[in-house]
Structure 1
């Protein structure tokens, strides 16, 4: 068929354009969704919080195990809960926790090897074992394994609360322990979530856990998390505050004691000479005024300490 026939045949044009239009539409919708997801990622303070969290967690695990422990954040991603849900395979130790002040939920997913590593260390198992242990797919957690999972989870949630404390005082509490992902659905599949993958190195073993926080969970503190550094707008920089306080405390403030204000005509003041006496109507036990400039600060009783005139403060303004 010639090019003229193609150009003059509207049916051919429609057949050519249909797949292009469908492709552009699907690409456009995907771009809009991706852009909406990317907008959630602009929370600079959250990265600082998670960095502090990894440091606190390493210290807490060292105290628990008396071993050298290194905690590293492997990845910090934003994605849809439905996408992440597809990667979860049962059975998994899944801890559902609640941020009490924010009134919403999150997930802590522990690797089987992490649980068995802590069991070996805490209960006197084999040292320096590098073999990866897997639990049978049909078997749930034993009571001992559940106890270890809860102990680990409580430490993680406590340190997570400490890391968020400079931004917002929050208490993370363990709600329940699940092994089936279907029972750990805490948000809709299309909702955006934060997935923090954490690597824990202990006794030559590398074990992992995931921290999942829906964006709607941290919505109450979104404004604070958008700050670039601590104290950017909401003022929580202790060093800066101490510097300001010290500078203010070192300011010299002139104060004066005023016995009484006596209105006097200008001509009397002009005619005053050395030796003249100014008579005032101040009663001996009446309070006098202490001020700085025109600002009244205190009232007090005038007296004497050794060879100096003193004022005993009786009232604050």
Structure 2
């Protein structure tokens, strides 16, 4: 019985694969390798930019990139779904973003100052005006990051045109027209939503030659956009610094004999400089002092070269 069911399932899968091959044979197109790179970079950019909007850590990844007819895109959209139609004068057509309810509702709760509940958001039958407004802000963010990642292929400006909830009203190409669909998962506060970016294949005609090349990278290419983005994120990061006055080595027997009130000789003078350490790496020499309010402070006096500094950066006795 089980063997018969397994055989039927395999036959159904084979039939579906054959139908897919026949359907795709009706299209004459070449894959665009650079879109895979753009999709990966777009997911990374969204993961970096979305916390500015929601105030919480975000993870985003490109899960699938496929070439499908517009009719199949419309049929497989989640219900309900927020659809953002964007105009791009540099292309021969519009761009479509699809955001599912889990992504929109989780972002809404976080943007209003709440914390997302552990249980999954209840799927609504339709979106309210506030939810549509949140979806618009998410779409503007995606449009900005997509424009940034596609800037190397031409002067492209992506502008949000309108927000729709009816897939038929948001069709940006004929049902039989081929589209490139980038599907991404976005994790926010323990909840996972989906984001789809749909690009009509014919709309990419002005930049198709650049998208069709195989990219191996190279030191001569201009990656200033990525350097600037990485630099901005590094500047916002926080690190823990330690001001170490000295380090001493003592026998364990002596330490075990210590009692309350014991005095330990550090073998240094009062004006002995401190070493500022970050992640076990000596960074600066500093002089100790006090501020007007009585708090102890340090003044950086010298920048250290980690390769020239001793492992502990201080005296050993």
Which band: TM-score by shorter chain? Answer: 0.5 to 0.7
CA contact (8 A) 1:130 1:204 kept: no
- Note the C-alpha offset of 1:35: 3.4
Provide closer, same or farther for how the CA distance between residues 236 and 218 of structure 1 changes in structure 2, counting only shifts above 3 A: farther
| Counterpart selection for 2:114 from 121, 125, 146 | 125
Q: Which residue of the partner structure matches residue 107 of structure 1? A: 96
Q: How many equivalent residue pairs? A: 207
Q: Distance in 2 between matches of 1:150 and 1:82?
A: 24
The 3-state SS of whatever aligns with 1:148 is helix
Q: Distance in 1 between matches of 2:161 and 2:26?
A: 30
Q: Which residue of the partner structure matches residue 142 of structure 2? A: 156
Deviation string for 1:54-105 (max 9, x for gaps)? Answer: 1111111022222111110111111111122222365421111111221411
Q: Which residue of the partner structure matches residue 143 of structure 1? A: 129
| Counterpart selection for 1:172 from 135, 155, 158 | 158
The 3-state SS of whatever aligns with 1:184 is coil
Provide closer, same or farther for how the CA distance between residues 125 and 70 of structure 1 changes in structure 2, counting only shifts above 3 A: same
- Note the C-alpha offset of 1:45: 1.2
Question: Residue 93 in 1 paired to residue 88 in 2?
Answer: no
TM-score, scaled to structure 1? 0.60
TM-score, scaled to structure 2? 0.60
| Counterpart selection for 2:40 from 46, 51, 59 | 51
CA contact (8 A) 1:193 1:215 kept: yes
| Counterpart selection for 1:39 from 23, 29, 32 | 29
Gapped regions of structure 1 (runs ≥ 5): 1-26, 240-317
CA contact (8 A) 1:166 1:236 kept: no
- Note the C-alpha offset of 1:31: 5.7
Question: Residue 209 in 1 paired to residue 195 in 2?
Answer: yes
Residues 16-35 of structure 1: pairs in structure 2 closer than 5 A: 34-35=24-25
Gapped regions of structure 2 (runs ≥ 5): 1-16, 224-317
Provide closer, same or farther for how the CA distance between residues 64 and 30 of structure 1 changes in structure 2, counting only shifts above 3 A: closer
CA contact (8 A) 1:37 1:78 kept: no
The 3-state SS of whatever aligns with 1:193 is strand
Question: Residue 74 in 1 paired to residue 63 in 2?
Answer: yes
Provide closer, same or farther for how the CA distance between residues 192 and 155 of structure 1 changes in structure 2, counting only shifts above 3 A: same
Q: Which residue of the partner structure matches residue 62 of structure 1? A: 51
Q: Which residue of the partner structure matches residue 175 of structure 2? A: 189
The 3-state SS of whatever aligns with 1:121 is helix
The 3-state SS of whatever aligns with 1:182 is coil
Q: Please, what is the CA RMSD of the aligned residues?
A: 2.6
Q: Which runs of 4+ in 1 moved over 3 A?
A: 27-33, 35-40, 88-91
Q: Distance in 1 between matches of 2:49 and 2:196?
A: 18
Q: Distance in 2 between matches of 1:71 and 1:116?
A: 17
